[in-house]
């Protein structure tokens, strides 16, 4: 019984002589208090204490024996931070104002890598642009001289990836590409198809009654592979450069009724479809 009383007395004396540390934990960027952060104080002798911050980010660690303490804080979604110098604790005193500023932890990033080649020859497509999009943003990079590319700094998620290059048709990877933290998703390769050579449509626009050329007439073409527009010269001639396909043509000129070519006009790679002519009729109101 006497030994127990002695231990209780020693414990009471120790507590009475103990000190503490207090302060606030806040966001390093916004200055907003961080509730629920864990603050730990450790001395060189191994003595330690801990406390959690309240809704105002405040903490108070008590019952620390006098000495110097290393103070650190951690919170979910933040990097751990340490107070820059040892914190002195004196008996029966609370060392106040020991604030800690935590920075939000960046999510570990991933990457996508692959190669871009010519579908026909298998040769690398140097300078091809590869773009990854996840709905929240996009990141792009150019392929090197061997056609290799790597898209770094991607947040974990699923990405749509496309490749584009001058002289080639754009290609989208057939499925969304997964990116995981700290890893490179490899072999996201593209074999780009060269764009087909353009062809042309040529013809003449004339007055239907006099057969005189109609200068300044606008000829438009609309097709499955694009549109085109040309203006006739002083001889009434026009030329349209277009992707291969079939096109509907219309000619318009001031003082004339628009003329529609009666059938779709084919365009073949590297060839000219000639003699697509328009005889235009003057508006009745202007001919009277």
Tokens, residue 274: 């000639």
- 210-224 residues labelled b (16+ CB within 10 A) or e (exposed): eeebbeebbbbbebe
- Mean pLDDT score of the chain, rounded to an integer? 91
The string of pLDDT tens digits covering residues 31-46 is 999 999 999 999 988 8
Nearest to residue 217, comparing CAs of 205, 227, 229, 207? 205
The full set of domains in the chain, from first to last, is: 25-102 (2.60.40.1120), 110-192 (2.60.40.1120), 199-287 (2.60.40.1120)
* Higher pLDDT among residues 104 and 17, named by residue: 104
**pLDDT at position 4:** 45
CB atoms within 10 A of CB 151: 23
Tell whether the model's pLDDT for residue 69 goes beyond 60: yes
Overall average pLDDT of the 256-279 stretch: 96
Residue 285's pLDDT band, with cuts at 50, 70 and 90, is low
Overall average pLDDT of the 100-109 stretch: 88
**pLDDT at position 73:** 97
**pLDDT at position 15:** 52
Tell whether the model's pLDDT for residue 10 goes beyond 70: no
SS3 breakdown of the chain: % helix, strand, coil, rounded to 5? Answer: 5, 50, 45
Residue 6's pLDDT band, with cuts at 50, 70 and 90, is very low
Overall average pLDDT of the 163-191 stretch: 95
Nearest to residue 125, comparing CAs of 191, 179, 76? 191
Overall average pLDDT of the 169-183 stretch: 94
Tell whether the model's pLDDT for residue 12 goes beyond 70: no
Tell whether the model's pLDDT for residue 239 goes beyond 80: yes
Tell whether the model's pLDDT for residue 8 goes beyond 50: no
Tell whether the model's pLDDT for residue 11 goes beyond 50: no
The share of the chain scoring above pLDDT 70, in percent, equals: 93
**pLDDT at position 106:** 78
* Higher pLDDT among residues 15 and 88, named by residue: 88
**pLDDT at position 224:** 85
Tell whether the model's pLDDT for residue 160 goes beyond 50: yes
Tokens, residue 25: 């934990």
The HSE-up count of residue 203 (CA atoms within 13 Å, CB side) is 22
132-139: list long-range contacts, CB under 8 Å, 24+ apart.
132/159, 132/160, 132/161, 132/177, 133/159, 133/160, 133/161, 133/162, 134/158, 134/159, 134/160
């Amino acid at each position: 019984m006497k030994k127990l009383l002695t231990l209780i007395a020693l414990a009471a004396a120790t507590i009475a002589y103990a000190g503490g540390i207090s302060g606030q934990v806040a966001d390093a960027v916004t200055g907003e208090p961080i509730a629920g952060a864990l603050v730990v104080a450790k001395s060189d002798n191994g003595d330690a204490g801990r406390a959690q911050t309240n809704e105002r980010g405040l903490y108070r660690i008590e019952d620390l024996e006098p000495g110097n303490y290393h103070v650190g804080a951690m919170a979910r979604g933040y990097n751990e931070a340490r107070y820059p110098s040892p914190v002195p604790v004196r008996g029966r005193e609370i060392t106040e104002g020991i604030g800690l500023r935590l920075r939000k932890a960046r999510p570990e990033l991933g990457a996508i890598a692959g190669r871009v080649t010519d579908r026909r020859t298998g040769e690398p497509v140097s300078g091809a642009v590869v773009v990854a999009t996840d709905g929240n943003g996009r990141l792009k990079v150019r392929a090197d001289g061997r056609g290799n590319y790597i898209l770094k700094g991607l947040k974990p998620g699923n990405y749509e990836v496309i490749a584009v290059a001058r002289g080639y048709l754009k290609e989208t990877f057939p499925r969304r590409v997964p990116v995981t933290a700290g890893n490179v998703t490899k072999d996201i390769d593209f074999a780009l198809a060269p764009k087909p050579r353009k062809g042309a449509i040529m013809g003449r626009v004339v007055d239907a009654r006099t057969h005189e050329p109609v200068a300044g007439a606008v000829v438009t073409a609309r097709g499955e592979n694009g549109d085109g527009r040309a203006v006739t010269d002083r001889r009434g001639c026009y030329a349209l450069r277009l992707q291969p396909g079939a096109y509907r043509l219309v000619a318009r000129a001031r003082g004339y009724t628009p003329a529609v070519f009666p059938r779709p006009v084919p365009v073949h790679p590297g060839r000219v479809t000639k003699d697509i002519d328009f005889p235009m009729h003057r508006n009745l109101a202007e001919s009277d």
